[in-house]
Amino acid sequence: MTTPHAASGARPADSTDEQSAAQSVRSMFNSIAPRYDLLNHVLSASIDRLWWWRAARTFRSTLARPDAIVVDLCCGTGDMTLALLRRRPNSANAAPILAIDFAHEMLRRGAQKFHHRRAIAIEADALHLPLPDASVDLITTAFGFRNLANYDAGLREFARVLRPGGQLGILDFSEPDGLFGRLYQFYFRRILPAIGRALNGQSSPYEYLPESVHRFPAPAQLLRQMESAGFADAHWTPYSFGIAGLFSATRSAAPATAAAPPANSGQFPPETIA
């Protein structure tokens, strides 16, 4: 595995601090939302569908419980949410999945996908979740954690809202080694931005993507950060020769550190996207 630069969080080219990084990421994803799904499937040859399915299967026992509170963070246009819904009980008493994202245009498209299904779209920041302490049984985030402005703060916030014994799954890209890794890097840095420009009219989001993956902590480093934030049994499962992988862990009985709760952390959020 290629060792990336040490990074505390995402830093798009035009950002100087955490606040500007978050604003830049939000603006970027809002701008590419109309063609996001098409580009994802084209650029990944639709293998991303397999990754979502595998990640959801990992948590099938929790998803099968009607009373389980499940949160899909940085849900984007909702494909991971849909994968989770396929493993939820199809009954009126099953708790809805909370699908959370801070990019309005992405979330609006996700809400259309799971309209009339047991999921609620919520516009909120993953670093400041409007959820009570120790209220959630499962958090997943697919290809969104890497874009947080502060990885440690994100992990602490996840630990805050998860119940002791609750599960965390972070599905994200990685950098494979060897000849395959070199071929992948050529595609990622040269071919992918050109395809993005041809299909979406802009290449900067697809130039940001390989840079963000390079800056992202290597698996061993992120596993240590998860444990420091209050998670146990942390491990990484590579997908597709290490192009992507699932970080999974269990919230310890007593997290090592606690994030300050948001002002409205005493109740589930009323602000949703219809």
1: in domain: no
245: containing domain: 18-177+217-251
Each residue's pLDDT tens digit, 130-152: 999 999 999 999 999 999 999 99
As for how many domains the chain has, the answer is: 1
At 38 the pLDDT is: 83
CATH code, domain with 64: 3.40.50.150
Could you identify the residue written with the tokens 């996840």? 158
Strand order in the sheet with 119-123: 119-123, 97-101, 70-73, 136-142, 162-173, 244-251, 231-239
12: in domain: no
Each residue's pLDDT tens digit, 88-107: 998 889 999 999 999 999 99
At 212 the pLDDT is: 92
Q: Across the chain, which distance is largest between two alpha carbons, in Å?
A: 51
Q: What are phi and psi of 145, to 5 degrees?
A: -60, -40
At 128 the pLDDT is: 97
146: in domain: yes
> What number is the average pLDDT over the span 6-10?
79
39: in domain: yes
Q: What is the pLDDT of the chain when averaged over all its residues?
A: 88
- pLDDT > 60? residue 266: no
pTM: 0.89
2: in domain: no
* pLDDT band of 270, cuts 50, 70, 90: very low
* pLDDT band of 254, cuts 50, 70, 90: low
157: in domain: yes
Each residue's pLDDT tens digit, 162-208: 999 999 999 999 998 888 888 888 888 888 888 877 877 777 887 89
54: in domain: yes
194: in domain: no
